[in-house]
Structure 1
Amino acid sequence: MSDTLNADPAELAKFSELAHRWWDPESEFRPLHQINPLRLEWIIGLAPLVGKKVLDVGCGGGILADSMARKGADVTGIDLSTKALRIAQLHAIETQTPSVQYREISAEALASEQPSQFDVVTCMEMLEHVPDPASIVRSCAQLVKPGGWVFFSTINRNMKAFALAIVAAEYVLKMLPRGTHEYAKLIQPHELAAYCREAALELRQAKGLSYSPLTKRYSLGAGTSVNYLFATQRVI
């Protein structure tokens, strides 16, 4: 792997080892299956997907990419995990998912290849796993058309997020494998907002994602103290 590639080999290896379990809703990826309807509905509420050209950056096994294609979008999913992409491609073939394709390419490389080509770009649960998240944000801004939407989701960096998103989720409730997240890589909302401003992305809406251990359900709300989502638009 190139030293200049904006990816952590350890992170890629970690998710590659679990690639065969992406589409098992009771596996380590269960939280992604549970939150996907929420984030999909939120995206559609701001940027209807029918007939739109959509890019999913860091698509993994294709959970979000697949669901956006089924809502009428022409979707491209990109990732640097070969095994995860194979699982995504196999699932698309098996389920005959319309209008979805997958490529093993970085966001930066695709931005050079296809600038301003997408109506909507999504980058969910990825920024906290790369060495240079600002570079991903810039690439997403370059890939989307002027006026197009870019959606991000990630995890805040504070003691509450450490307690809930790492200690509780990974060690107590065991919702995620231990070591899924590193505290130092988490991103505070003001930091992500700065990356967006520098990339000419204007923040339109911020949402928080919370989990109730009692009901075992996720919900979207106003608080961004732990998991949060940004909806942005390219202004130039």
Structure 2
Amino acid sequence: MNQTVNADPAELAKFSDLAHRWWDPESEFRPLHQINPLRLEWINGLSPLQGQRVLDVGCGGGILADAMARKGAQVTGIDLSTKALRVAQLHALEAQTPDIEYREVSVETLAQEQPGSFDMVTCMEMLEHVPDPDSVVRACAALVKPGGWVFFSTINRNLKSFLFAIVGAEYVLNMLPRGTHEYAKFIRPSELAASCRAAELDLLHTRGLEYNPITQRYWLSADTSVNYLFATRRLG
């Protein structure tokens, strides 16, 4: 695993500046609040969360981690944004969320500390924000038990995703702060699939995430041309 921290200081600063708004459903994080029920039910439908030990990589303010804990999982959320983690911890205390803890540690470091320790690993909306996404995929694979599930979500790299995820979401609809995403860091499904294979993760399910700006509704579909999700299992 990498000894250097696999993080972009500018990315950490960007999300740290917004940390106090993580749990405001009308804030810049509104899209995460809106898609959370979809991704939660998809994950739970493939691998029921009740009683599982789950790691949420790049947990931010804890929106998904908190929801998984409320489904009965024992959840650890990790991130490198101190401010976001403080917000997550405070929310867990105020909401009395059961069986949840947060740590400021890189996924690569945790993989060295606790290999094969988790029944499930989730890494959602994070790969497109790090310098070396392959390193994150390898670490996620190392952290899950053989046969355990690893879930990813990220953004495809093509003209449509540039128009929808950057021009549309950041500049036209103002759904996200400008500069949230960098096109060059988007990841094609074929590239992520290759990373998963190299990490001995078997890709079993793929879904797309679509959005209608008129109805302001999200839904899962077979269209992976912009946002997409992978469900993989560790071989062995």
Pair in the same fold by TM > 0.5: yes
1:17-56 per-position Cα deviation (integer Å, ceiling 9, x unaligned):
0000000000000000000000000000101000000000
Displacement after TM superposition at 1:215 (Å): 1.0
Q: CA RMSD in A?
A: 1.0
- 2: distance between equivalents of 1:30 and 1:142? 32
Displacement after TM superposition at 1:3 (Å): 8.7
3-state SS in 1 of match to 2:101? strand
Segments ≥4 residues shifted beyond 4 Å: none
> In the alignment, residue 85 of structure 2 is paired with which amino acid?
L
> In the alignment, residue 232 of structure 2 is paired with which amino acid?
T
- 2: distance between equivalents of 1:165 and 1:222? 18
Structure 1 residue 149 and structure 2 residue 149: aligned?
A: yes
> In the alignment, residue 159 of structure 1 is paired with which amino acid?
L
Structure 1 residue 123 and structure 2 residue 144: aligned?
A: no
Displacement after TM superposition at 1:109 (Å): 0.2
Displacement after TM superposition at 1:214 (Å): 1.6
**Residue 216 of structure 1 aligns with which residue?**
216
Q: Give the alignment's TM-score, normalised by structure 1.
A: 0.99
**Residue 56 of structure 1 aligns with which residue?**
56
1:88-135 per-position Cα deviation (integer Å, ceiling 9, x unaligned):
000000000000000000000000000000001000000000000000
**Residue 137 of structure 2 aligns with which residue?**
137
**Residue 23 of structure 1 aligns with which residue?**
23
1:169-188 pair list within 5 angstroms:
169-188=169-188
**Residue 97 of structure 1 aligns with which residue?**
97
3-state SS in 2 of match to 1:228? strand
- 2: distance between equivalents of 1:215 and 1:232? 32
1:50-89 pair list within 5 angstroms:
50-89=50-89
Give the direction of change, closer, same or farther, for the CA distance of 1:72–1:3 in structure 2 (3 Å limit): closer
- 2: distance between equivalents of 1:207 and 1:177? 25
**Percent identity for Structure 1 against Structure 2:** 77
- 1: distance between equivalents of 2:216 and 2:8? 32
**Structure 2 residue runs without a partner (length 5+):** none
The count of aligned residue pairs is 235
3-state SS in 1 of match to 2:204? strand
Q: Give the alignment's TM-score, normalised by structure 2.
A: 0.99
- 2: distance between equivalents of 1:185 and 1:235? 28
- 2: distance between equivalents of 1:180 and 1:103? 24
**Residue 226 of structure 1 aligns with which residue?**
226
1:50-90 per-position Cα deviation (integer Å, ceiling 9, x unaligned):
00000000000000000000000000000000000000000
